[in-house]
Amino acid sequence: MDEADEERQTLVTQWYKDLKTGTDFDGWGQPVEAIEGYQRLAKTLQQEHDCDDDLFSDEQKKILGKIAACLKLRSIVLQKPGQVEGISLEDLKRIEPRLKSILSAGSKEFPVDVTAAQVKTKQTTGQDELDDGATQDEDNEETAANNKARGTLLPIPDPVQGKTLCSIRIEKIGLKDATQYLDTFMSVSVKDLNCVNLTVSQDTPITTRKEDMYIHFGVDVHIQKPLEFLPQGYAIFFELKHYKPKKKMISTKCWAMLEKDEVKEGPAVIELYKKPTDFRRKNIHLLTVKPLYLHLKIVLN
């Protein structure tokens, strides 16, 4: 068993243990503890589902997304006892062995109809959207591409006395075929070595400013936590994304990162790497040997 296999098995073992703990609380009539456990595990599995690396296969990530959806739905059921029809405790118990065997079960059918449960929950609660990350059509993101136009950048967070806030101006990125990309934007996230989000991910507005070999942004991204509150080993990731009309999907072109010791006041010119984004920083390859970089300006307050 290599290092990646060991890491996968360790994660799955812990997730299975957390799920079993949650269903035990659920069965014992302790809904508060069960809800807290379900929501915490759902967040972890959703992050792994969204993580753009190759630790888990695409099929395995889809299963993790479905399990996360079921946990969220069960939490809603427990919060509204007798009012909501959705995922039952028995459903989650059927999911337990599916999670435990995720590394070896291949394409075995998922034991719960997540879509049907989601519809029931929406009808009862009146919710327009449940962020399950699994039942959406992952092959068609045209609507998502349109929603990116305005971006999701956040304002400067409230200052904390004696702590350092970081703002990063994304100036431009160099690509040999910069003018060919449509609806380009940058996704910025802060993660630890385990691929866990430390702050909310932010997307810049779509930019159409392209000159020669550069895509220009000229926008500021405000990191939502003081640097002192971030753990050792964190990094800030920048993913250049664009829209592919033929496939009707958003794709990552390349990515870059600032590790902790690189977050310093002033301009920064950083290397570009080939996709997929390696949030764990274990298998990194340069996009090109040409002198093309991501140009930033860091402001610390």
Determine the Cα–Cα distance for residues 241 and 271; give it in Å rounded to an integer.
16
Res. 54 pLDDT band, cuts 50 70 90 = confident
Determine the Cα–Cα distance for residues 272 and 258; give it in Å rounded to an integer.
11
> pLDDT (tens digit, 9 = 90+) per residue, 160-180?
999 999 999 999 999 999 999
Task: Determine the Cα angle at 18 with ends 13 and 20, to 5°.
Answer: 95
Determine the Cα–Cα distance for residues 229 and 123; give it in Å rounded to an integer.
41
284 has a pLDDT exceeding 90: yes
Res. 132 pLDDT band, cuts 50 70 90 = very low
Domains, the chain, ordered by start: 3-125 (1.20.120.360), 142-300 (2.60.40.150)
Predicted confidence at residue 148, as pLDDT, reads: 56
Determine the Cα–Cα distance for residues 95 and 67; give it in Å rounded to an integer.
7
**Do 172 and 215 contact (CB within 8 A), yes or no?**
yes
Determine the Cα–Cα distance for residues 34 and 137; give it in Å rounded to an integer.
30
**Do 199 and 190 contact (CB within 8 A), yes or no?**
yes
274 has a pLDDT exceeding 70: yes
Determine the Cα–Cα distance for residues 217 and 230; give it in Å rounded to an integer.
26
